[in-house]
Amino acid sequence: MKQVMVFMAALCMLACNPGTSTKTTTSINKDRLAKAYRQDKNGWIFLHLEGSPANIGYQHGYLAADEIDTTIQTVAYTLAHETAHDWSFYRQAAKNFLWDKLDPEYKDEINGIVDGLKAKNKQYDSLDITAFNAMEELAYYYVPSLANALKPHSADNKAPGNCSAFIATGSFTKNGKIVMGHNNWTSYIIGQHWNEIADIAPEKGHHIIMDCIPGYIHSGDDFLETDAGILITETTITQFNLFDSTGIPEFMRARKAAQYANSIDDVVKIFTTGNNGGYANDWLIGDTKTNEVAKLELGLKDYRIWRSKDTAIIGSNFPSDPKLIKEETTFNVNDKTTSPNARKLRMEKLVCLDMKGKIDAETGKQIEADHYDALDNKNANNRCVICGHIDEDPLGCKEWDEPAYYPMGAVQGKITTSDLAAKMEFWAHMGHPCGEDFKGEPFFEAHPQYAWMSKYLTDMKSYPWTLFAAKSN
């Protein structure tokens, strides 16, 4: 009886005096956060994350808890409106065919994000974070594949056109080394949240610095550099129609390529192994060790590689390989009025001809902010310019099913060079690279059909170009 009384007294002390437990938990949390930090600058959230997968995730979830919470709410609201599927549908997809295909270290990182969020009283679980990371491949590849299976070609224009990008080397750049540029095209309601710079120093693999959405374990719009001298960016393939739910999620292959690739060949191997066709892209890849650049045009069954040490490769959401175009897209290469083809025409002249031998970080910024419409031969704010403004285009963008004045376009930009990458640095610009702000109130007054977005979209300010650097080891 005495032993029972002692045991009960101990339980009472534990229950009535949580101070000991809180102190221990607080100590553990501080240990997990010890190597991480956050800095906010010119519209960007800069996070340094370091350590085990679980700790990297915890640091991310804890330091960006409010932004992750707001962004998931925004994404769930937007997808419910635009895809007619609520958040439970996307969670179920994550459970059905995504979670089990993730490598253990990425499950640990996602679970770490969940723990960090819960430490800040944000109640999400691993399925939420997995579905969130797979937003592009689920909403714009998996969902259309279901619709097309029921009624062929009913969802042909759902694969989005995201981004204007280039990578150049050799005689095309000012010093003969690699220059890479990218601006992210997406809806403003989502794109306003593509404002994190993640500086990740993992226990295994390479140090990465990339832009991303808060809560992503990958870049998502894909602009990154690593301490292996690898540079990666991309633009999506317009009107891509296939998806294989038995494959490996694109977001994990993208993160794995960033973390473990030592060469262009490694990047290609990681992306093509277990390919599910999700977020089908033209991947632009550079290796600063060899001064070689490449384009991997990756569909589902079809892919092709171009590579050179003396070239400029552009991307504006157009596919190039005739076999892939015929078998896996409905893209019309002959329609010059589409955004991908119009931007291609402008970028071919600007990047490959006018600026040949002059491309560096400063001219790269000019390229990503360019407003020249090569169809009408004048400056404009519309779907046809590199720094896109579909919110000002009366024709919208039919090839992505976006009606007139849809609030979408270039939401931010990034530039790097071999010399910057050697120091793990790059330039980033939040908001339209041209410097123009998006103002919600007058826009929604003029276009009330989009007023539903005003719940989460107000303004999108354009900030100055800012140089970011990874923490040195």
User: Can you tell me the distance from the alpha carbon of 38 to that of 210, in angstroms, rounded to the nearest whole number?
Assistant: 15
Q: pLDDT band for position 13 (50/70/90)?
A: very low
Show Cβ contacts of residue 19 under 8 Å, excluding neighbours closer than 6 positions: none
Q: Kindly report the number of other CB atoms within 10 A of residue 151's CB atom.
A: 8
- The dihedral built from the CA positions of residue 402, 405, 408 and 410, taken in this order, carries a sign that is positive
187, 69, 188: which is closest to 129 by C-alpha? Answer: 69
Q: How many helices (H) and strands (E) does the chain have?
A: 17, 19
248, 235, 329: which is closest to 283 by C-alpha? Answer: 235
Residue with the two structure tokens 């175009």: 325
Q: Kindly report the number of other CB atoms within 10 A of residue 266's CB atom.
A: 17
pLDDT tens-digit readout, 250-271:
999 999 999 999 999 999 999 9
Q: pLDDT band for position 154 (50/70/90)?
A: confident
CA 5 to each of CA 9, 13, 17, 18: distance values in angstroms, whole numbers, following the listed order: 6, 12, 18, 20
pLDDT at 30: 84
DSSP label of 150: H
For the segment 63-84, the average pLDDT, to the nearest whole number, is 98
pLDDT at 162: 86
Is the pTM above the cut of 0.85?
A: yes
Average pLDDT taken over every residue of the chain: 94
What domains are defined for the chain?
36-469 (3.60.60.30)
Query: At residue 185, does pLDDT exceed 90?
Result: yes
Q: pLDDT band for position 26 (50/70/90)?
A: low
User: Can you tell me the distance from the alpha carbon of 64 to that of 225, in angstroms, rounded to the nearest whole number?
Assistant: 22
User: Can you tell me the distance from the alpha carbon of 143 to that of 162, in angstroms, rounded to the nearest whole number?
Assistant: 18
Query: At residue 146, does pLDDT exceed 80?
Result: yes
